[in-house]
Structures are given as structure tokens and as C-alpha cells.
Amino acid sequence: MYNKVTCSQFKLARRLLTLLILPAVALADTTPAPAPPMPVPLSCALPVQAPSPDGSLTAFSDFSWLQFVALNWPAGAQRGVPDCTAAFGSSEKTVWQTYKTTDQLFLPNALDPGPWDAGAVMLFTLEHRAKAPADLPVEESVRQAVGGWLTDQHGNPTYYSISVNRVSYEYVVTNGYYNADIIAAADKVSFPEGALEVKAAWRILVDSDDHSRYHTMTAQVTEYDSEGNNTGRTREAVVGMVGMHVVYRAPGFPQWTWATFEQVDNTDASHGVQPSYFNENCSGPHCTPNVSPLITGAPFTAPNQVTRVTDLDDEVIAVNQDWQARVEGTPFQYYRLISPQWPTDPSDPGNPQGSPFPSTVANTVLESYIQPISSCMDCHSTARVPGNATKSNYSFIFLFAQQPAKAQGESQ
């Protein structure tokens, strides 16, 4: 037989149950939501290991940005070493700008350039209006846009610099490969893992340019006459970086890994800034975009029209947006990765080029006139030593190697 529950007992039980439940509900309501994951802090350390060859475009794009940040970190007191206590973007002098340039590596008369630490970090002298010496025969040249020059909308030429890290530098010096005779006789060229080259494109900034949108430096720039001839004179100017190639001999990648960056205003008017290399109101005989002035006959001081031919991949765009937000407040937020490129099959002897991916990669200020067919790896796979006897392991720097001085009485 069941016990009867009185009304008063029922009310008391309900109140007790309420007292037990409410604190639990209140506790659940006040428990803070999980914090969003903290972004990985910017690092001054240059990444060593690239993603696996079958890695995604996103993975290699992130790797490229890690390189870009580390290379553009403020330089420390030692050549090629970052000041990790400095804030990113706080200095004009970055790590890679303390690397040795090809002008410092390949001295006149094939003089020994000395140890890595020798000499002060000097003001850049920007002489080359192309990526390789202008006097090279066509078959050995990788000059900008297969010959020619690139003049910005202010009528100034674009300048190019090539710098190498300590691993590359010491490989060349130890083997005497700064001497054109020695490198031409080499049986094999094989840079060690860790070798790295930076190729940069610069333009002279004028008063109307927003300097805060550029990584800048003060440099000595060579002056050219209206025909594009070197006058032998230089002047000091503030230049802004408009393009950057990063070429890295990553462990397990004998074909190297590649990444190319641009300043966002080069050809794109969507940011509310007049593009540096395109004028939508261009008029006259030299307005067809992406055609070398050697073909059009455009004068040296006539602005060259350049547009982007190949759109950026959506994965690369997403990675750019992430990293641009992370470097916001520095000039580097106005740069974007165009694409990485890497060998997806680096270890097959029967496939020496390693099946590059993506197949087409073009920087509008470094491959302006060959964008539809441009491929960093395809181009550099043809690199050879002076005289063409041996391939030079994807590096064109030996085109700058110098002839030794002739001994007295020796025929010139």
C-alpha cells in the first residue's frame, strides 16, 4: 500500500529540487567559452625543413611566408643573423640585406672575396636594370623579360639585386667558383642543403608615393641616359621593394624550393592607389601590356604597361589574407605571395626536374613579358656555367663570375 504525499510535502520536495538544480544551471551558464586558438607568433627563425613533396599548396604557401618574415626580420650585429629582440618591420636593414650580393662575391679580376664576415654591410649599389649582366649573349641571359628593361609609370627603370646566404657564399668561395675559368671547368656543381638566394626588384620612390606601403632602403642607383646606356654616374635615392624571389636548397629538394612575392600596387588598382606599372588611361604607341620594349621599340624612359596574366590561386589568396593580417602595421602587409613552386617528385633519377608544381609561376616585375609560360624551375633547370659545359644546379649566379687578370706579358 502506497503512502500518501500531502500537498505540503509535495511543495517542500519541489523547492528542494529547485535549490539543487539552479546552481548547476547557473554554473553552466557562467562557464566561459573556450578561447580561440592563439595565432602562432611571428618568428625570426628561418625555417629549415620544407613540407613534404606531396604537401598542399596551402602548406607551401605558409612555408613561403615563414621564409619571407624571417628574411625580412631586422638584422642583428652579425651578417646574416636576425635581431630577434627587435619587432618585425621596425628596421630598414633586414637579414637578407646583410647577405653578400653578387657584386661582393664576384669581384673584378676574379679576386678572392674573402671570408663571409669580411667587410662592413654596405649601402646597396643598384646597377642592374636586369636580372643578369647586359653584355651576356642572348643564349646565356636570363635578363628581365628575356631581354629588355622595365620602366615604371614615373619613367624610372626597375633595378635588380641578387644576394646569397652564408651557405651559398662559402660554397662558391671554397671552390674558387668566383673565378670564371675555374667554374667553367667544373665537372659538377651541387650547392649544399641550406643554400639560399634572394632576388629583389626595386623602384625609385617619388614624392607622390606612399612610402609606408613599401619596404624601403636608401641606395646608390646607377643613372642611365635616354637610350638606356649606363652613364657611369650614380646618385642616392630611396627605393621601394616591388618584387622578391626566395630560392632555397631545402633538405630533400635537389631542385630547390621557390617562392615569389610582389608589392600589391604593382599592377592592381583595386587598393585605391595608382599602380606602379600600369596606367588604364595610357595613350600612344606603347600601351599594349606585357610586351618587351625590345619588341615594341619603346624608348628607355617610356613607361612599360604590365598586367597580371595568371590569377592567384584561391588557397594562396587565403594564406595571404592570414599573413597580411598578422604583419599588419608594417610595410609588409602590402606584399603578397604570388605562388610557391616545388618539385613534387624530387628523388626520381628518371625525372630530374621533379615535376614542378604549380607549372606556371610569374612575377609581374621579374617575368613581366613571359608570364604565360613562366616557370622558375623550368627556367633555372637550364642554368649552366660560363661556356655551357656543365649545368649549375639551378643557379644563374655564375653568369657574374669574373675572368682573372692576365699576367704581365700575357696576351690579352
The mean pLDDT value for 217-242 works out to 92
Tell me which residue of 71, 125, 129, 74 sits closest to 102, measured CA to CA. 125
d(CA 199, CA 380) in angstroms, rounded, equals 13
pTM: 0.86
For residue 359, give Cα distances in angstroms to 318, 331, 353, 371.
20, 30, 12, 12
Q: Is residue 40 scored above 80 in pLDDT?
A: no
- pLDDT tens, 106-154? 999 999 999 999 887 877 778 766 555 555 443 333 345 456 799 999 9
- pLDDT tens, 316-357? 999 999 999 999 999 999 999 999 999 999 999 999 999 999
Tell me which residue of 360, 43, 379 sits closest to 199, measured CA to CA. 379
pLDDT of residue 28: 46
Distance of CA 34 to the CA centre of its chain: 38
DSSP 89: T
The mean pLDDT value for 272-292 works out to 94
pLDDT of residue 229: 87
- Helix axis angle for 314-326 and 57-71, nearest 10°, is 30
Q: Is residue 5 scored above 60 in pLDDT?
A: no
The mean pLDDT value for 255-265 works out to 97
Query: Within the chain, what is the greatest distance between any pair of CA atoms?
Result: 131
Q: Is residue 15 scored above 90 in pLDDT?
A: no
pLDDT of residue 147: 62
Q: How confident is the model at residue 31 (pLDDT cuts 50, 70, 90)?
A: low
Q: How confident is the model at residue 83 (pLDDT cuts 50, 70, 90)?
A: very high
Mean pLDDT check: name the lowest of 24-38, 56-70, 156-170.
24-38
For residue 356, give Cα distances in angstroms to 48, 57, 374.
20, 12, 12
pLDDT of residue 383: 87
Residue 186 CB partners (closer than 8 Å, separation 6+):
175, 177, 385, 389, 390
Residue 67: in which H helix or E strand, if any?
helix 57-71
Q: Which residue has the higher pLDDT, 41 or 297?
A: 297
C-alpha cell at 19: 535549490
C-beta neighbour count of 142 within 10 angstroms: 18
Q: Is residue 386 scored above 70 in pLDDT?
A: yes
Q: Is residue 257 scored above 80 in pLDDT?
A: yes
Q: Which residue has the higher pLDDT, 113 or 380?
A: 113
C-alpha cell at 276: 606602379
